[in-house]
Structure 1
């Protein structure tokens, strides 16, 4: 069930197709009070907070404003390096008070969707016992009775990703509850390359589903649900700079936590997690409206075997875990939030790779990196034909 990332445009007569594309563009891309041109060709729309896509969701009609967009603050040089990590904002431009920053969805991205309804949808169900429809993983996981948040520091790479047919490579945090049948609830955040943007730049993304990826959920703001509050970040926009092999490492810090007052899941970033991107209202979920029972961290790729052999799409840096700091990709300072809303080290972290000859993972603990693991690999090689 991974056909959502294939290029398939034959879903109607030409006139009908054009009308559907135009209608979908208008539905996703809300009227902008201001537009910002990014150096990489992206367009960032500054959309009034109350007109964002989230409020098209029937469960969010009349949704009370919980966390209004914040007025951009001046940052010192250290904060700029830590918090302004997207190409479009490096010039210093930002959206004004009362608006949020949204990356405009392009027509070619709609054309890449299998159908208009599947725009931005994925089927990356995280089952540990098999390779799932071409999805391969290297993850660290913890399970328990109740988790209320998780955080991680992740280094960012620009991995090689096969484009014909299109594949993807990502690193993310999963917040999970329910079963892997029809009622899986999942919240996901991290960086990804290729899907669904048509290039290999690493981009900040979010995802959610409340029914095991069947009918609900999507990437970023391409369907109603996630309420954005940030004026300084645009979901789906390119991250810059990226880590350099045997050189400087560039990291992003992300945290998801359940608000004890209203039950919503907040998404934060920044050096001290003091910047909010937005939140998932608890009403979107059937299990995560209460708690999470599994937290996962790690990498994922799509292997289409288009030439009959394993893909050469890289995970992370494209190098195996044993190469270590500066060469392998990593997650560090991993913590989860317990029922007392305390951030604690990971209890009984289990690491696994679904295809160890192609991508692997090695975990540990030390003073510098806390709970951590290195992960990744090149894909196709002598041991991964």
Structure 2
């Protein structure tokens, strides 16, 4: 009996030691469990009600006036806007002569709903912070680094032609690979698209893959951006599920902004939880599912509103967060992006974009964005006058604006598998 007790104690000590070493190995110098727990208290506001989702998430129903958005210095005296004063997005869906598509659902909604006066916020847990490279950068994208930043070789720059007009140069980015439909040339106050929902493979621990819309303004090395769509990001969320996300930055991802509600800024007003899983998912040769993502500037308040599926209000980015974007965007992009330390390198990452199939496999196989729209100061949703496609690793991920006939508008297809015989 004594021997058994001794062995049990030794096993327990060994287990605690290994566990401690495992935790310590994930922490940066100067970061302790107590510091992580203090950060969790700042990130997670007190809940009126909590909902345990079947996917493992905990959704906290937080008083709408006590959400973390208002911790941002620019929102110190901000008066919350509960709904847009001008609705620029719903009319497009009303005009479509097509059968309704299945409604996107968030998994947590199967387990309950939040009471009036609260908003659903995905709880950040200790293991989420332990996966982060640092507490300071948790929930942030890495800055974009042009591969020609320290070079003068103009061959590093790639060009995109808009409607066969004068080409526009885009410097390749070291840590990202994108396949895009792009429009420039006007002041845009909104954009929309039906984004095909898939669950692509993510290969390396730091990789993530998105399908989304960007609205951008400002200089190329310090641009401002507001973004929305879906993402698979195991390092941030702890799994390989497809999730709804938003993002914003004021300085090209250097030190401002974040995913979802991880930092202060984005104001939630609806019953959609940012960062939560979405379903159903499209399948190759099978049913196709979409989420309509619409972003528009309220001309009266200066806030940028996010809506899903035409009439589901999520919330807004306050205009006070921005400089250039406080009045309009000058670039709109639709498409996908893969972040990985192993893009534009050999061996290339196997993280997929979109469905994991190249764009020319078309409907039912490749990922698509349909009903692409912009809004300018005419206040009308319309297809962009000037568009171009761009992919900076064409043999890894590509882009194709497909037109079937003269009477139909283009459908944008994009994506790819990453590493393959032509992308090594």
Decide: shared fold, TM above 0.5: yes
Displacement after TM superposition at 1:212 (Å)? 1.5
Report 1:98-137 matches (<5 A). 98-123=117-142, 125=144, 129-137=170-178
Displacement after TM superposition at 1:365 (Å)? 4.1
Query: Residues 366 and 99 from structure 1, CA distance in 2 versus in 1: closer, same or farther, beyond 3 angstroms?
Result: farther
Q: What CA distance in whole angstroms lies between the structure 2 residues aligned with 1:381 and 1:159?
A: 15
SS in 1 for 2:385: coil
The answer to which of 107-116 and 235-244 deviates more is 107-116
Aligned equivalent of 1:82: 103
Conserved in 1, the CA contact under 8 Å of 2:61 and 2:114?
yes
Conserved in 2, the CA contact under 8 Å of 1:125 and 1:180?
no
Conserved in 2, the CA contact under 8 Å of 1:68 and 1:98?
no
Displacement after TM superposition at 1:364 (Å)? 3.0
Displacement after TM superposition at 1:124 (Å)? 6.0
Aligned counterpart for 1:32 among listed residues 36, 47, 57: 47
Q: What CA distance in whole angstroms lies between the structure 1 residues aligned with 2:228 and 2:47?
A: 25
Larger relative helix fraction: 2
Displacement after TM superposition at 1:82 (Å)? 1.3
SS in 1 for 2:307: strand
Aligned counterpart for 1:196 among listed residues 228, 236, 243: 236
Aligned equivalent of 1:328: 366
SS in 1 for 2:39: helix
Displacement after TM superposition at 1:178 (Å)? 0.1
**CA displacement, residues 18-50 of structure 1 (integer Å, 9 cap, x when unaligned):** 122111111111111111111110000000001
Aligned counterpart for 2:80 among listed residues 65, 75, 80: 65
The CA RMSD measured in Å over matched residues stands at: 2.3
Q: What CA distance in whole angstroms lies between the structure 1 residues aligned with 2:374 and 2:390?
A: 19
**CA displacement, residues 198-219 of structure 1 (integer Å, 9 cap, x when unaligned):** 2111100000011111111001
Q: What CA distance in whole angstroms lies between the structure 1 residues aligned with 2:279 and 2:25?
A: 31
Larger radius of gyration: 2
Query: Residues 79 and 334 from structure 1, CA distance in 2 versus in 1: closer, same or farther, beyond 3 angstroms?
Result: closer
Show structure 2 runs of 5+ residues with no match. 1-23, 85-98, 147-157, 159-169
Aligned equivalent of 2:333: 296
Query: Residues 106 and 362 from structure 1, CA distance in 2 versus in 1: closer, same or farther, beyond 3 angstroms?
Result: same
Q: What CA distance in whole angstroms lies between the structure 1 residues aligned with 2:303 and 2:176?
A: 29
Q: What CA distance in whole angstroms lies between the structure 2 residues aligned with 1:90 and 1:257?
A: 29
2:47 matches 1:11: no
SS in 2 for 1:252: strand
2:170 matches 1:149: no
Conserved in 2, the CA contact under 8 Å of 1:130 and 1:354?
no
Aligned counterpart for 2:114 among listed residues 95, 111, 119: 95
2:387 matches 1:349: yes
Aligned equivalent of 2:347: 309
2:412 matches 1:373: yes
SS in 2 for 1:335: strand
SS in 1 for 2:324: coil
Query: Residues 237 and 66 from structure 1, CA distance in 2 versus in 1: closer, same or farther, beyond 3 angstroms?
Result: same
Q: What CA distance in whole angstroms lies between the structure 2 residues aligned with 1:255 and 1:370?
A: 19
**CA displacement, residues 163-189 of structure 1 (integer Å, 9 cap, x when unaligned):** 4x331111110000001223x110010
SS in 2 for 1:117: coil
Displacement after TM superposition at 1:303 (Å)? 3.2
Report 1:254-273 matches (<5 A). 254-270=293-309, 273=310
Aligned equivalent of 1:235: 274
Show structure 1 runs of 5+ residues with no match. 1-6, 70-77
SS in 2 for 1:162: coil
Query: Residues 187 and 274 from structure 1, CA distance in 2 versus in 1: closer, same or farther, beyond 3 angstroms?
Result: same
Aligned equivalent of 1:74: none
**CA displacement, residues 75-119 of structure 1 (integer Å, 9 cap, x when unaligned):** xxx999414x1111134x211100000011121221222221111
Displacement after TM superposition at 1:235 (Å)? 0.4
Q: What CA distance in whole angstroms lies between the structure 1 residues aligned with 2:63 and 2:279?
A: 26
Aligned equivalent of 2:165: none
**CA displacement, residues 300-328 of structure 1 (integer Å, 9 cap, x when unaligned):** 01233399501111101100111110000
Conserved in 2, the CA contact under 8 Å of 1:136 and 1:301?
yes
Report 1:40-51 matches (<5 A). 40-51=55-66
